[in-house]
Amino acid sequence: MRIVIDAMGGDQAPEEIVKGTVNAVNEFSDLTCILTGKEGKINRILDNYEYKVNSIEIVDASQVVTMSDKPSEVIRKKKDSSLIVGSNLVKDNKAEALISAGNTGAVMASGIFNIGRVSVVKRPPIATVFPSKIGKTIVLDAGANVDSSPQHLIQFAIMGQIYAEQVLNITNPRVGLLSIGEEKEKGNKLNKNTYELMEEENEIKNFIGNVEGRDIFKGNCDVIVCDGFVGNIVLKTTEGVASFVFDLLKDTLTKNLKSKLGALLLKDELKKMKEKVDYKQYGGAPLLGLKGLVIISHGSSDAQAIFSAIKVAREAIQNDVVKIIENKLEK
């Protein structure tokens, strides 16, 4: 299988992007990775590593998409950027997936307008994986569509269900609708109308009704559906709370000699706790419903995060997620 990685996208590009790619091709023998970006710079970094012959290709791209670039201008004016060149490789069936830690809006735009939507998909959602007490919870949409209809949310639910089954290996995933209370009558007009449709939709196998924000982390639900406006607020709030808690914990555990000794005793457990909530372990967020797979990685992604993103993309390709989504939604 062939996966494109935008070597110039992200705060730590291209060094960490290249390193993560090398680690992935050395781990997976069935993988060919295509790095798009400034060829000379990429080659100089690759010279520092050993990797299997022909497992990494480079496609030169002279332009770089910055975090301040407007998505529409990227599509029109930066056609030789590492992102657009990469998305065109997927569009032309020269690769099966695109991974980028660059400008989120530009990645979405390149996916939707270059690679294109599956014909029956009305709005491609971003599916973000959150840690929970007993495993993982997918929340979608996490920001791609700020104004959604009940029909859009139904499609989000079906796509999230497929991703949970095929990539996260969750059997019969529980699907919930994010609301302000568990009762059926709770929520705004969008939620109430969506609830009725979800109850009737045969392709949603295990709809459990309304769920609340706290259920994301309790593990009471596997797939949680909402419009992108709400989903993005959930995502950014969660990131802020996690950062605050860890900063507070760090200050507390380094306050004096007594707390430092306690931290030393808890070192292994604290490490496990950090790993569970670390975005680097989850491989980024897929933009579902496109003709090819697109993974949006965190802007601060390092080699471990890129390795995880490639691993997730590989699993999605192996399980033919794009085709399954198309077949299910056609029904």
Once rounded to an integer, what is the mean pLDDT over residues 77-100?
96
The answer to whether 2-121+289-319 and 128-276 have equal CATH topology is yes
Complete DSSP assignment for 121-145: -SSPPB-EEEE-SSSEEEEE-SSS-
Once rounded to an integer, what is the mean pLDDT over residues 286-290?
95
Strand partners, 5: 35, 99
The CATH class, in words, for 2-121+289-319 is alpha beta
Once rounded to an integer, what is the mean pLDDT over residues 51-77?
94
Decide if pLDDT at 276 tops 80.
no
Strand partners, 290: 117
**144 and 287 Cβ atoms separated by less than 8 Å:** yes
Predicted local confidence at residue 135, as pLDDT: 87
Decide if pLDDT at 215 tops 80.
yes
Beta strands in the chain, from DSSP E residues, in sequence order:
2-6, 32-37, 56-60, 97-100, 128-131, 136-140, 175-178, 207-211, 223-225, 285-287, 293-296
pLDDT band at residue 262 using 50, 70 and 90 as cut-offs:
confident
Once rounded to an integer, what is the mean pLDDT over residues 291-303?
93
- 299 burial (CB, 10 Å; 0-12 / 13-18 / 19+) is middle
Lowest average pLDDT, out of 51-65, 115-129, 142-156, 258-272, goes to 258-272
Beta strands in 90-191, from DSSP E residues, in sequence order:
97-100, 128-131, 136-140, 175-178
Query: Tens digits of per-residue pLDDT, 26-45?
Result: 999 999 999 999 999 999 99
Once rounded to an integer, what is the mean pLDDT over residues 138-154?
93
pTM: 0.89
Residue spans of the domains in the chain: they are 2-121+289-319, 128-276
Residue whose token pair is 């709005």: 123
Decide if pLDDT at 97 tops 70.
yes
- Whole-angstrom Cα distance, residue 218 to residue 215? 5
Average pLDDT of every residue of the chain: 92
Once rounded to an integer, what is the mean pLDDT over residues 311-324?
93
pLDDT band at residue 280 using 50, 70 and 90 as cut-offs:
low
Among residues 157, 107, 143, 134, the alpha carbon closest in space to that of 237 is found at 143
Among residues 125, 319, 85, the alpha carbon closest in space to that of 232 is found at 125
Choosing among 3.40.640.10, 3.30.360.10, 3.40.50.620, 3.40.718.10, the CATH entry for 128-276 is: 3.40.718.10
Once rounded to an integer, what is the mean pLDDT over residues 184-194?
91
